[in-house]
Amino acid sequence: MSGTPASGTTPTGGPPSTTTAQPAVRFVDVTKTFVTGKHEVRAVDGVSLDVHAGEIFGVIGYSGAGKSTLVRLINALEKVTSGSVVVDGTDITTLGESKLRHVRAGIGMIFQQFNLMSSRTVAANVAYPLKVAGWPKEERAARVAELLEFVGIADKARQYPARLSGGQKQRVGIARALATNPKILLADEATSALDPETTQDVLALLRRVNRELGVTIVVITHEMDVVRQACHRVAVMEEGKVVELGDVYQVFSAPRHGATRRFVATALKDRPAPDVVERLRARHTGRIVTVGIDEASGSSARLTSTLRAHGVDGTVVYGGITEVAERPYGSLTVELVGPDDAVERLVADLRSFTDVVDLGTAARPLDDPSVVVHADHPEEGPDPEHRSAGAETIGPAGGVRPFGSGVFGGPGGSVGGNDPAAGRHIVDGGDER
């Protein structure tokens, strides 16, 4: 039977499982078509990708992109139309139900709506998969206590889900998903019903699950901020296809596809939108330039020294530096004041080591060729429930006056005038299903 008690694998002890060359999940030219009446929808369209063992892999896309369908293929909740899905070395597309059960036992899943049983206590919810897997009663109790301790809600064991906050409910969901020691955890919009702070807590818990237990995690989200905070690599989906795939830091610093650029811009909010640029030019007489800040170029430190070397004054008027995959990244928009030729040489010098967008002056304005407009385009945005209210308000608090604080170039924090909470929404996610 699949889920006999795995001795020695405790949530608090033991090293992470070793990463092997074998991918945790491999999609080989996978297509999934739904037919409803005369309608045919290619929810997943020719996807080939590997999820490496031991990583946190993000799948991002707008509503209807095919994200949920893609992950539901991993535990065979959906069957492929063509192609194959290989989980931990086993091609699951050809397996019968009994063997599939065995594969599924190695995969945990958490959901946006938590999916807890409202008539059972927290402890009973977490014990349920153990019961199904045939664990003896005493071992179940010990395992549940250990799991609740790990996710930080040991004191809630006897409560019913209705009495818990969203964050606590998701902790129960995570404890339940981990009960039988799965190697893979699938998280479908697991933080989408939570407020930004609780989202951060739950993402931190998922990182711990990954780091301390060695669980491979696939995170599905429509929020690039979740990818920024939690994932190692990310796939961007659009209309069933993977349109971009790569290391999170790389994808943030050089997004290639239009959808990716829009997602990145919503998470960073570091570049001034065209109307903000106009106000900046009106307010400042100097030359306005946006300078990319990343780890590889050392541009944060070099910006200061380059200004000094050219005898040009630089004032930060907009921007933001944040952490992407635990490394500093962002951009600063600076007003440059000095003799014209010195400013010209400075800009050329800056271009030699980082991205520079020259926005000109009020008298000689220049457009940002890479600008990403965050207008509320319903046709390309997520559905209303998923759309982040205010994602288009990229700018200083209130959008008119500069406001902010931070350490110049300091990693981790944000510098500049962007409201970190703007563009998030809170949905009351209290229902059980």
Footprint of Mg ion on this chain (CB under 5 A)? 68
Long-range contacts of 241-244 (CB under 8 A, 24+ apart): 241/45, 241/46, 241/47, 241/66, 242/47, 242/48, 242/49
Which residues lie near ligand ATP (CB under 6 A)? 34, 36, 41, 43, 61, 63-69, 222, 383, 386
The minimum distance between CB 219 and ligand ATP, in angstroms, equals: 13
CB of 61 vs ligand ATP, minimal distance in Å: 5
Q: Which is nearer to Mg ion, 68 or 331 (CB)?
A: 68
Q: Is 66 or 272 the residue whose CB approaches ligand ATP more closely?
A: 66
Dihedral sign (CA 349, 350, 355, 359):
negative
When CB distances are held under 5 to 8 angstroms depending on the partner's kind, the choice from ligand ATP, Mg ion, none that residue 232 binds is: none
Looking at the Cβ atoms of 111 and 318, the one nearer to Mg ion is: 111
Q: Which of residues 5 and 429 has its CB atom nearest to ligand ATP in the complex?
A: 429
In the complex, what is the shortest distance from the CB of residue 339 to ligand ATP, in angstroms, rounded to a whole number? Answer: 53
Q: Out of Mg ion, ligand ATP, none, which partner does residue 276 contact, by CB within 5 to 8 A per kind?
A: none
Which does residue 43 touch among ligand ATP, Mg ion, none (CB within 5 to 8 A, set by kind)? ligand ATP
Instruction: Between 68 and 290, name the residue whose CB sits nearer to Mg ion.
Output: 68
In terms of CB distance, is 68 or 75 closer to Mg ion? 68
Partner residues linked to 293 by β-bridges: 330
209 touches 170 (CB < 8 A):
no
d(CA 22, CA 239): 28
Cβ proximity to ligand ATP: between 81 and 93 the closer is 81
Q: How far is the CB of 96 from ligand ATP (least distance, A)?
A: 22
**Between 68 and 260, CB nearer to Mg ion:** 68
Minimum distance between the CB of residue 424 and ligand ATP, rounded to whole angstroms?
16
Least separation in angstroms between CB 67 and Mg ion:
5
d(CA 346, CA 407): 23
- Complex with ligand ATP: residue 39 or 364, whichever CB lies closer: 39
Shortest reach from residue 383's CB to Mg ion, in Å: 10
CA distances (Å), origin 112, targets 25, 333, 361, 432: 22, 37, 47, 10
Q: Which two tokens stand for residue 340?
A: 């014209």
Choose among ligand ATP, Mg ion, none what residue 64 binds, the Cβ cut-off being 5 to 8 Å by kind.
Answer: ligand ATP
From ligand ATP, Mg ion, none, which one binds at residue 408 (CB under 5 to 8 Å depending on kind)?
A: none
CB of 152 to Mg ion, least distance (A): 27
- Give the C-alpha distances (Å, rounded to integers) separating 154 from 5, 109, 122, 148: 21, 21, 10, 5
Q: What does 26 bind: Mg ion, ligand ATP, none (CB cut-off 5 to 8 Å by kind)? A: none
DSSP per-residue string spanning 366-396: ---TT-------TTTSPPTTTS-TTTT--SB
Tokens of residue 109, six digits: 């899943």
**Per the structure block, which two tokens stand in for 175?**
């404890």
Helix (H, G, I), strand (E, B) or coil at 323: strand
Residue 41 near which of Mg ion, ligand ATP, none (CB within 5-8 Å, type-dependent)? ligand ATP
Q: How far is the CB of 49 from ligand ATP (least distance, A)?
A: 15
User: DSSP character for 129?
Assistant: H
Within 38-95, where are the H helices?
Answer: 67-74
Using CB distances below 5 to 8 A depending on partner kind, what does residue 222 bind out of Mg ion, ligand ATP, none? ligand ATP
Identify what 406 binds: Mg ion, ligand ATP, none; CB under 5 to 8 Å per kind.
none
- The rounded distance, in Å, linking the Cα atoms of 154 and 152 is 6
**DSSP state at residue 15:** P
| Least separation in angstroms between CB 328 and ligand ATP | 30
Query: Which run of H or of E encompasses 218?
Result: strand 216-221
Nearer to Mg ion, 71 or 277 (CB): 71
Which option in ligand ATP, Mg ion, none does residue 66 bind, with CB closer than 5 to 8 A by kind? ligand ATP
Q: Is the dihedral of CA 254, 256, 261, 263 positive or negative?
A: negative
Measured between alpha carbons, how far is residue 384 from residues 198, 381, 428 in Å?
21, 8, 14
